[in-house]
């Protein structure tokens, strides 16, 4: 069992070599030289892991889990336990090493998930909207992307015979999970139906196809070993009738059943699409592909309402760790876990579901700490932040989702004499909804009640009307425990998180490729 002890605080080393090796001034950014070899990958920070072979490296990504989301999630989780909330700590907030991480893309001040996750898993910053290709290739340019691929940490381990897994509550082909195993000029090319004909003709493959063909196109690899998430529509043809085959809701235009191709690609593989099959597969020893929804998995608050059921993020994390441990025979493994729907709830100005999914991610982290030894690196961070705010002078212990009450317990009101909530957004779709409601009310604002604002579907107030709430550009936090965790400190470039993981896995990355 992983413990939080003083031994984890010993042996801190400063990061070195933080200057950019390649300055791309035309893109307004600074990009590290791509790590095309294991040697450059493990020496980029000037640090090599000294712990020998680690048990594992597990990277948790709270998609959109900025500092305000962590703070609110802490209070929300504490209040669910009957506490005032502010004094509570999420499990990963107890990790001994913490840093602030700069999230900009090479072409964007406020980033997207494709460019940020690509930075974390390849060691270079790149453009918004592209997956694990160098910033020299513009978004959407298939020909430029071919040959501009940058090796990911997952690929580097797979070609050396090590085991890997990727888990997400979003589609498994979404930007964050997809950056680990695919290279794409556009993050939206999740299936062939999403690609322009010119890109297909030029030889680019959709992201689902790249996942299924990973072993064939990566010499020495047997493919990603545990794959759990949503997005099965990207794997099945659009000719499959939903009512006859509920697991085969498809959108592919090429007629391919990628799950059948994946199953045929190697012996001892299992495909699952519901909770019953998922639980039955826990005892097997082979590779597993689990696709639990045609699109994204349900928000955690809605998970138990589905007819076939869905595993929680904690259950999928436990499943993946057990599988990878069994398959690794004592060798280190890499697991990527994404709480993908925190981001989606924020885009909809829905703080309730964002909080529930933040708590669900924390439960997954806690489960990992119980299952792994002190010789495993656990790293928790976000790809970017959101325009989510906590404000208004509420009293200590005020219900996080409720109306603001001051120290005297009285409702606090704005200049129009209306009560307001603690949580809000700088922009988003709720502004338009509020304007429409005001118009129906004769131009007068709707007086909020605690019942209204604490309802699951309530959209917190946003200032600037947008079709969807946007990301935010401030730094995010990174939390680490285990070997190499001391390198997570200060203010870091996001791509340096790659080097933290690669340093810990240095012995594995020194092995010859193509084993």
CB count within 10 Å of CB 52 equals: 9
* Mean pLDDT of the 78-87 span: 98
User: How high is the pLDDT of residue 138?
Assistant: 98
Radius of gyration of the chain (CA): 23
pLDDT tens for each residue of 356-405: 999 999 999 999 999 999 999 999 999 999 999 999 999 999 999 999 99
Phi, psi of 400, deg, nearest 5: -60, -40
pLDDT at 39 over 60: no
pLDDT band at 284 (very low <50, low <70, confident <90, very high): confident
What 3-state DSSP class applies to 300?
helix
Q: Calculate the alpha carbon distances from 515 to 145, 171, 215, 265, 512 in Å.
A: 27, 31, 12, 18, 7
Average pLDDT over residues 2-15: 30
Predicted confidence (pLDDT) per residue in 295-354, tens digit = 999 999 999 877 778 999 999 999 999 999 999 999 999 999 999 999 999 999 999 999
Instruction: Please tell me the distance from the alpha carbon of residue 83 to that of residue 116, in angstroms, as a whole number.
Output: 35
Q: Using an 8 Å Cβ cutoff, are 273 and 285 in contact?
A: no
Is residue 80 within 8 A of residue 356, CB to CB? The reply is no
The whole-number pLDDT of residue 515 equals: 59
Put the strands of the sheet holding 226-230 in their side by side order.
Answer: 269-272, 287-291, 226-230, 163-171, 333-339, 56-62, 376-381, 476-481, 97-102, 490-493
pLDDT > 50? residue 49: no
Phi and psi of 71, rounded to 5°?
-60, -50
Crossing angle of the two packed helices 351-371 and 67-80, in degrees rounded to 10: 80
Buried b (16+ CB within 10 A) or exposed e, 409-421: eeebeeeeeebbb
Among 219-233, 235-249, 301-315, which is the least confidently predicted range?
235-249
Helices of type H across 111-222: 113-122, 142-145, 153-158, 175-181, 197-201, 207-212, 214-217
Is the pLDDT at 220 greater than 70? The verdict is yes
At residue 25, does pLDDT exceed 50? no
**Are the C-beta atoms of 106 and 135 separated by less than 8 Å?**
yes
Residues 312 and 304: their CA atoms lie apart, in Å, by: 9
Question: For residue 222, how many other CB atoms are within 10 A of its CB?
Answer: 17
Domains and CATH numbers, the chain: 6-387+470-509 (3.40.720.10)
Pairing of strands 490-493, 97-102: parallel
- 374 exposure class (CB count in 10 Å sphere: 0-12, 13-18, 19+): middle
Q: Do 270 and 283 contact (CB within 8 A), yes or no?
A: no
Q: Which residue reads 């909804």 in tokens?
A: 433
On average, the pLDDT of the chain sits at 90
pLDDT exceeds 60 at position 173:
yes
| Residues taking part in catalysis | 113
Handedness of CA 409, 414, 420, 421 (dihedral sign): negative
Partner residues linked to 230 by β-bridges: 171
Are 107 and 128 in contact by the 8 Å Cβ rule? The answer is yes
> What are the structure tokens assigned to 450, written together?
């605690």
In this prediction, residue 439 carries a pLDDT of 81
Q: Per-residue pLDDT for 407 more than 80? A: yes
pLDDT at residue number 432? 81
Burial 243-254 (b: 16+ CB within 10 A, else e): eeeebbbbbbee
Please give, one letter per residue, the 3-state secondary structure of 15-33: CCCCCCCEEEHHHCEEECC
List Cα–Cα distances, 3 to 94, 99, 161, 472, 503, in angstroms: 10, 20, 29, 34, 22
Residue 11, pLDDT > 90, answer no
């Amino acid at each position: 069992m992983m413990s939080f002890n003083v031994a984890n605080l010993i042996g801190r080393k400063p990061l070195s070599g933080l200057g950019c090796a390649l300055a791309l001034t035309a893109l307004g950014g600074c990009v590290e030289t791509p790590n095309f070899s294991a040697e450059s990958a493990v020496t980029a920070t000037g640090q090599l892991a000294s712990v020998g072979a680690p048990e594992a490296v597990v990277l948790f990504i709270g998609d959109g889990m900025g500092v305000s989301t962590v703070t609110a999630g802490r209070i929300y989780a504490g209040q669910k336990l009957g506490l005032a909330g502010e004094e509570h700590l999420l499990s990963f907030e107890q990790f001994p090493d913490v840093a602030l991480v700069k999230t900009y893309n090479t072409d964007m001040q406020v980033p997207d998930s494709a460019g940020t996750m690509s930075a974390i898993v390849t060691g270079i910053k790149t453009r918004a909207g592209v997956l694990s290709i160098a910033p020299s290739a513009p978004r959407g340019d298939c020909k430029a992307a071919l040959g501009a691929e940058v090796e990911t940490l997952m690929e580097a381990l797979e070609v050396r015979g090590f085991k890997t897994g990727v888990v997400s509550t979003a589609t498994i082909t979404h930007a964050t999970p997809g950056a680990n195993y695919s290279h794409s000029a556009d993050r939206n090319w999740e299936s062939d139906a999403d690609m322009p004909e010119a890109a297909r003709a030029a030889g680019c493959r959709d992201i689902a196809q790249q996942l299924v063909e990973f072993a064939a196109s990566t010499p020495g690899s047997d493919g990603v070993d545990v794959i759990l998430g949503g997005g099965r529509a990207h794997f099945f043809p659009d000719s499959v009738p939903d009512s006859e085959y509920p697991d085969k809701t498809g959108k592919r235009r090429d007629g391919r059943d990628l799950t059948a191709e994946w199953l045929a690609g190697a012996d001892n593989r299992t495909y699952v699409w519901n909770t019953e099959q998922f639980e039955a597969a826990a005892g097997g020893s082979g590779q597993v592909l689990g696709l639990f929804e045609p699109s994204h998995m349900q928000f955690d608050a809605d998970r138990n309402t589905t007819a076939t059921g869905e595993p929680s993020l904690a259950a999928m994390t436990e499943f993946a760790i057990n599988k990878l441990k069994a398959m690794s025979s004592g060798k280190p493994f890499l697991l990527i876990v994404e709480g993908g729907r925190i981001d989606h709830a924020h885009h909809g100005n829905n703080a309730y579901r964002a909080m529930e999914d933040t708590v669900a991610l924390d439960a997954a982290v806690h489960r990992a700490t119980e299952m792994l030894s002190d010789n495993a690196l656990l790293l928790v961070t976000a790809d970017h932040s959101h325009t989510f705010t906590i404000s208004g002078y509420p009293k200590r212990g005020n219900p996080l989702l409720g109306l603001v009450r001051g120290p005297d317990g009285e409702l606090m009101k704005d200049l129009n004499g209306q009560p307001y909530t603690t949580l809000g957004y700088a922009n988003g779709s709720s502004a338009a909804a509020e304007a429409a409601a005001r118009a129906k009310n004769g131009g007068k604002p709707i007086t909020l009640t605690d019942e209204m604002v604490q309802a699951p579907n309530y959209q917190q107030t946003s200032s600037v009307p947008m079709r969807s709430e946007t990301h935010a550009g401030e730094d995010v936090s990174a939390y680490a425990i285990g070997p190499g965790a001391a390198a997570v400190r200060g203010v870091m470039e996001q791509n340096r998180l790659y080097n933290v993981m690669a340093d810990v896995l240095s012995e594995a990355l020194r092995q010859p490729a193509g084993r």
